[in-house]
């Protein structure tokens, strides 16, 4: 799969096989990517707001410039992105921004 700059809102990618997909600069809002296999995908400049990435496999992904955040749905903690149990081994995390993310495994937003 190769695409860029698409907007996905409330889409279900639960357990989807997206290995080596090119999703550069795409926007995901309130999407379910739990258990998705994104190994080796290019997610440069992607925006993930209010998304469920629990248990997603992000090993070897390129997340350069990606943004993990929330959607204003009212009273917090609603609309937060959840990466609990997601795998990030060998992912490129250069210039990643993560704000109000549940389960974020890194101390700093710019780890590689």
Class of 1-105 per CATH? Answer: mainly beta
Write out pLDDT tens, residues 75-112: 777 899 999 999 999 999 999 999 989 999 886 444 44
Q: Which segments within 22-105 are labelled E, that is strand?
A: 27-29, 47-49, 67-69, 81-82, 97-98, 101-102
Q: Report the predicted TM-score, pTM, of the whole model to 2 decimal places.
A: 0.88
pLDDT tens digits, 17-27: 999 999 999 99
Q: Where are the chain's structural domains?
A: 1-105
């Amino acid at each position: 799969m190769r695409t860029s700059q698409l907007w996905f809102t409330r889409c279900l990618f639960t357990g989807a096989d997206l290995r080596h997909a090119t999703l550069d600069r795409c926007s995901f809002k309130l999407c379910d990517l739990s258990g998705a296999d994104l190994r080796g995908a290019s997610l440069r400049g992607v925006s993930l707001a209010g998304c469920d990435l629990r248990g997603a496999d992000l090993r070897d992904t390129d997340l350069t410039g990606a943004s993990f955040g929330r959607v204003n749905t009212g009273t917090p903690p609603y609309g937060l992105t959840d990466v609990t149990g997601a795998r990030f081994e060998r992912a490129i995390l250069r210039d990643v921004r993560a704000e109000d993310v549940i389960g974020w495994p890194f101390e700093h937003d710019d780890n590689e």
